Amino acid sequence: MIYAKYDKTTGQVLGHYTPDIHPALFDANESPLADDLVALTPEQHQRSIYGGIQIVSGVPTDYVYQPSIEELRAVKLGWVDSQVAEHITAGFISSASGVTATYDSEEVDQDNIKTLYIASQDPSFGAIPVRAVVSGQTAKSVLMHTPAQLQTLVSDMARHISTCKMRGWSLQSAVAQASSALELDSLAWDEE
């Protein structure tokens, strides 16, 4: 027989004991000497190892952990952060080149576009090539940009990033105000 030692206040299982391995805790009839030991079936023992058993009034009871609202908020805030990053780097739409196209926006793409814009301020630089997927197509095309068009492209990229960040901040505020798991679950990115 396996016995669980438990916290009488919380019901949390603290350890497992058997008369043959821990004889000091049991009498000659292999009954526990302490009242904070309770017998477990083999199935209860397995579930208790992973936190699936709680001792209530000395009786092993199935237990499902219910995280606190603070823990749920922390998880949802992590989700919000990942959504912001995912949406920022998913690409942005701009008509800066004269045609509507979707431009890459991973961090390296953002850096490249900003670098090209800075370089385009040199009057001798000329037209600047940037790859993007033109609306209605599936493959990337090389689109040529004048310095003014590149400035528009940088502005469109900044607007895209700001929109994603503002949506994230709005969701963070909603997470802070949520008072239940149901409210937190209802929060979604929802394109605006």
Q: Is 191 among the domain residues?
A: no
Classify residue 70 as exposed, middle or buried by CB count within 10 Å of its CB (0-12, 13-18, 19+). Answer: exposed
Q: What is the pLDDT of residue 63?
A: 84
Instruction: Verify that 164 and 78 share a domain, yes or no.
Output: yes
* CA atoms of 75 and 175, how far apart (whole Å): 10
Q: What is the DSSP string of 85-102?
A: HHHHTT-EEE-TTSS-EE
Q: What is the pLDDT of residue 190?
A: 84
Ranges of residues in the chain whose predicted pLDDT is under 70: 191-192
Q: What is the pLDDT of residue 191?
A: 62
Q: Is 165 among the domain residues?
A: yes
Instruction: Verify that 84 and 163 share a domain, yes or no.
Output: yes
Instruction: Verify that 55 and 77 share a domain, yes or no.
Output: no
Instruction: Verify that 166 and 76 share a domain, yes or no.
Output: yes
Residue in 25, 41, 21 with CA at minimum distance from that of residue 33: 25
Q: Is 192 among the domain residues?
A: no
Question: How many domains are contained in the chain?
Answer: 2
Instruction: Verify that 126 and 152 share a domain, yes or no.
Output: yes
Domain span holding position 57: 2-62
Residue in 163, 160, 165 with CA at minimum distance from that of residue 113: 160
Which residue type is seen at 85? A
Q: Is 35 among the domain residues?
A: yes
